[in-house]
Amino acid sequence: MVRAVMARLVVSAGALAGTLLLTAGLAPAPVQAAPPKPTSITVTGRDINKLTVDAAERDELFQLLLSEVSWLATATPQTSAPAKNKRGPKFVLTVYAKKAAQQTYDLYPLATGGPRAFRPAKQPTGTKKAGWFYGRLTMSESLRVSGVPIKARADVISGGIGGGVGEEVARGEIDPIASVNDYLAEVRRLFLLNGAVLVLVLFGLAGVAFLIRRRV
């Protein structure tokens, strides 16, 4: 009698455990909340006051700055830290969602060998692996048009940012194909000019030879 009761209890316990496991396996995984949408960016650094670029007011410039750092949140570090005397001026760019800071990065647009970016381990939303990255070649111009006092680079951006920010650069100053075409056009003109002079010289020689022959 006791054995029968114990057996039933064991079977019931096993069935209950199986049901719980099956239920846990079928239960939907918790949905992770999507990161909040960035709405503004601030830039701080040497010789500048705090610059703020709001997406609602200057979306084109905001997107330009955001493209310089948005990929750094999940990227794997690419390089080691450059020597301090080769980093150039540092500018700290912070991305906000409404009034809450989300990401912060140290940018070195004038570093020797090309722009660099540093992701600090301590982030506004938690901790990440610290690391150095090669920055985009447009970094200096993106910062410049936002108000950072950096010398313009005509070889990076050919057009300005809406609202009168940025500079228009002539196509021939940055387009190597256009420069080559202009050079070839000059060479063709030079050959045509030389050819015309050669023809005139030949006609002159022929005339002189004809006169000499008549006298002889």
- Rounded to whole angstroms, the Cα distance separating 95 from 70 reads 9
83-101 per-position pLDDT tens digit: 999 999 999 999 999 999 9
Q: What is the mean pLDDT of residues 57-71?
A: 95
pLDDT tens digits, 114-172: 999 999 999 999 999 999 999 999 999 999 999 999 888 765 554 444 333 344 334 44
Inform me whether the pLDDT recorded for 50 exceeds 70.
Answer: yes
Per-residue pLDDT reduced to its tens digit, 17-36: 445 444 445 445 555 667 78
Verify that 198 and 162 share a domain, yes or no: no
Say if CB 39 and CB 96 are below 8 A apart. yes
User: What is the residue range of 49's domain?
Assistant: 40-171
In this prediction, residue 43 carries a pLDDT of 97
pTM of the predicted structure, to 2 decimals: 0.59
Would you give the distance in Å from CA 57 to the centre of its chain? 22
Q: Are residues 160 and 92 in the same domain?
A: yes
Residue 58 · residue 163 · CB < 8 Å: yes
The per-residue pLDDT for 160 is 43
pLDDT of 178 over the 60 cut: no
pLDDT given for residue 165 in this prediction: 39
Q: How many domains does the chain have?
A: 2
Do 193 and 121 fall into the same domain?
A: no
Task: Please tell me the predicted confidence (pLDDT) of residue 188.
Answer: 67
19 located within any domain:
no
CA-based end-to-end distance of the chain = 152
The per-residue pLDDT of the chain, averaged, comes to 77
Is residue 14 in some structural domain?
A: no
What element of type H or E holds 97?
strand 91-97
